[in-house]
Structures are given as structure tokens and as C-alpha cells.
């Protein structure tokens, strides 16, 4: 018996990194995955990986910035797979800029992906999660719990996810659903490998977010996601769970 036998997980960002690792992990424990991403090639790749292990996955190229695409994805998930038991809001972007260099387009793109997409996908999915007595796991960040130089927009969006999670948890505290967030620290994904840094960064300002240990494999975040999303975590509600090798302990 897998912890997610008969369950449907609607996950964003499954083409890469933490989302891909989470799709593989939940599938390995019996979940049917409905995976969203803008990266069609990555979606095809995760589909092959899951199907080669006899798992069940369906994907949609979806830009979470579009409210209509989020609503369509929820409708498609329910009509194709029958329910939504787990919603994982995982897709996100990150970069550094000096505050004075952030354009309106930069700000809108980051907040639309990291915050607006999470809100409207959640809004569309909640009636189905109430029906299935399911749960929501948002991927926040250590950046939502601390200040990081040159990351004002990213920290703002991840702080929003932290408090969106808490506010949702309180609004639905009398209902049989759970809402939580994971706040990873440095994780070994393409987001870190391709991280766009400011060229003239003052590294002495960045010591608080460099950390003391190497980046974690995304599978470790996926393992925590699987626990939080499972019935074993029945009283974990409204929690922000750090998985950051001590980064925010200081």
C-alpha cells in the first residue's frame, strides 16, 4: 500500500527541480499526477520517467500567470482524474537585481508567477479539495522568512506565500482540509544553477543567505512534501516547515 494510493495530485512546476522530484515521489507512493508547467519538453520528460515506473501522469502546458489557464487546468484535472486530493504550488522563479534596476515588467512577472498563480490556482481547486478532504502544500522559501540583499521582489513574493498559507489555514480551520508551506533553503535545481546575480554584488551583505552546507537534493524537499501531504501529517495545518540546513536558524 502506498500513502497516496487512489489519490490525485495536481502539481505545478513538474518539468524541473523540486516539482519534478515531487511528481516522481508522489507517483512512487501511488498518486496519479496531473502536472502543469510552461516547459513542454520537461513535461514530456517527467511523463516518460513516471510511466517507465508504471505510474500515472497527465500533463498540461499551463502558464500559472493566467487565471483562465489555472481554472482550465483544475477543470481538466477533475474531469480526467476524478478529484484533487493534493494541490502542490511549486512553480516559481528567482533572480537578483538592485532595487533601483527592477522594472515594472520584472516585478509583474515575478509576482504573477510566484503569488498570483498560487492564489488563483488555489481558488479554483479549493471546492474540489473540500470535497476530497485533501490538502495544499505551497513551496515558499527561506527568502520568505528572512531578508536577502538584491532579492527584494523574490523575498516579497515568498513572504506573501508564507502569509497566504497562514491566512488560508485560518479561513478553512473548521473544514476538513489542510494548508501548509515548505520553506526550502538552497536546493540543487536549475533555479540555482542558472541564478541571475547582480554583477557588482557586495558579498558581505549576502553572508546571511549563503548558508553553511551545500545545497540539498530536490528529492529531500520532495520527501518532506510527501510527508506533509500524507495522512501521517494530520495535525499539521497552517505550518511553515523549513528545510534549509540551518539557514534561518541563525
Ligand X SMILES: NC(=O)c1ccc[n+]([C@@H]2O[C@H](COP(=O)([O-])OP(=O)(O)OC[C@H]3O[C@@H](n4cnc5c(N)ncnc54)[C@H](O)[C@@H]3O)[C@@H](O)[C@H]2O)c1
Which sequence positions are flagged as catalytic? 154
Residue partners of 199: CB distance under 8 A and separation at least 6: none
Chain centroid to CA 112: how far? 14
Site for ligand X, residues 102 to 141, rule: CB under 6 A: 113, 139, 141
- Least distance between ligand X and beta carbon 73 (Å): 10
Q: Which of 4, 19, 84, 241 is in the footprint of ligand X by CB under 6 A?
A: 19
Residue partners of 181: CB distance under 8 A and separation at least 6: 137, 138, 139, 140, 144, 161, 162, 165, 239, 240, 241
189 scored as a contact of ligand X (CB under 6 A): yes
3-state class (DSSP) for residue 201: coil
Q: Angle CA(185)–CA(188)–CA(190) in degrees, nearest 5?
A: 115
Q: Which of 35, 55, 92, 211 is in the footprint of ligand X by CB under 6 A?
A: 92
Name all contacts of 5-8 with Cβ < 8 Å and 24+ positions apart: 5/29, 5/30, 6/30, 7/31, 7/32, 7/85, 7/86, 7/134, 8/32, 8/33, 8/34, 8/77, 8/81, 8/82, 8/83, 8/84, 8/85, 8/86, 8/132
13 scored as a contact of ligand X (CB under 6 A): yes
3-state class (DSSP) for residue 125: helix
Q: Which of 96, 165, 187, 245 is in the footprint of ligand X by CB under 6 A?
A: 187
Query: How deeply is 181 buried, as exposed, middle or buried, from its count of CB atoms within 10 A (0-12, 13-18, 19+)?
Result: buried
Task: Specify the stretch interacting with ligand X by CB under 6 A; choose among 3-11, 36-44, 49-57, 173-181.
Answer: 36-44
- Least distance between ligand X and beta carbon 1 (Å): 29
- Least distance between ligand X and beta carbon 169 (Å): 19
CA separation for the pair 18, 40 (Å, rounded) = 17
Q: Which of 26, 94, 145, 240 is in the footprint of ligand X by CB under 6 A?
A: 94
- Least distance between ligand X and beta carbon 195 (Å): 8
* CB closer to ligand X out of 74 and 132: 74
The interface mask with ligand X, positions 143-182, x = CB under 6 A, is ----------------------------------------
Q: Which of 10, 11, 18, 78 is in the footprint of ligand X by CB under 6 A?
A: 18
Task: Specify the stretch interacting with ligand X by CB under 6 A; choose among 50-58, 86-94, 172-180, 234-242.
Answer: 86-94
Interface positions with ligand X (CB under 6 A): 12-13, 15-19, 36-39, 42, 62-65, 90-94, 113, 139, 141, 184, 186-187, 189-192, 218
Amino acid at each position: 500500500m502506498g500513502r497516496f494510493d487512489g489519490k490525485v495530485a495536481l502539481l505545478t512546476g513538474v518539468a524541473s527541480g523540486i516539482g519534478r522530484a515531487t511528481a516522481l515521489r508522489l507517483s512512487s507512493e501511488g498518486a496519479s499526477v496531473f502536472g502543469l508547467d510552461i516547459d513542454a519538453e520537461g513535461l514530456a520528460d517527467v511523463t516518460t520517467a513516471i510511466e517507465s515506473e508504471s505510474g500515472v501522469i497527465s500533463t498540461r502546458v499551463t502558464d500559472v500567470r493566467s487565471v483562465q489557464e489555472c481554472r482550465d487546468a483544475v477543470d481538466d484535472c477533475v474531469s480526467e482524474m476524478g478529484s484533487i486530493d493534493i494541490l502542490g504550488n511549486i512553480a516559481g522563479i528567482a533572480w537578483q537585481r538592485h532595487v533601483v534596476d527592477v522594472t515594472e515588467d520584472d516585478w509583474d512577472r515575478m509576482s504573477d508567477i510566484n503569488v498570483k498563480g498560487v492564489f488563483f490556482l488555489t481558488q479554483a481547486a479549493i471546492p474540489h479539495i473540500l470535497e476530497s478532504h485533501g490538502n495544499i502544500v505551497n513551496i515558499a522559501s527561506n527568502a520568505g522568512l528572512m531578508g536577502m540583499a538584491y532579492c527584494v521582489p523574490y523575498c516579497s513574493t515568498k513572504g506573501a506565500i508564507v502569509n497566504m498559507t497562514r491566512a488560508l489555514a485560518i479561513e478553512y480551520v473548521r473544514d476538513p482540509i489542510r494548508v501548509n508551506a515548505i520553506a526550502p533553503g538552497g536546493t540543487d535545481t536549475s533555479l540555482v544553477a542558472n541564478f541571475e546575480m547582480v554583477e557588482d554584488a557586495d558579498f558581505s551583505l549576502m553572508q546571511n543567505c549563503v548558508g553553511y552546507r551545500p545545497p540539498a537534493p530536490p528529492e529531500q524537499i520532495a520527501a518532506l512534501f510527501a510527508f506533509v501531504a500524507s495522512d501521517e501529517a494530520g495535525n499539521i495545518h497552517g505550518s511553515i516547515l523549513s528545510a534549509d540546513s540551518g539557514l534561518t536558524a541563525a
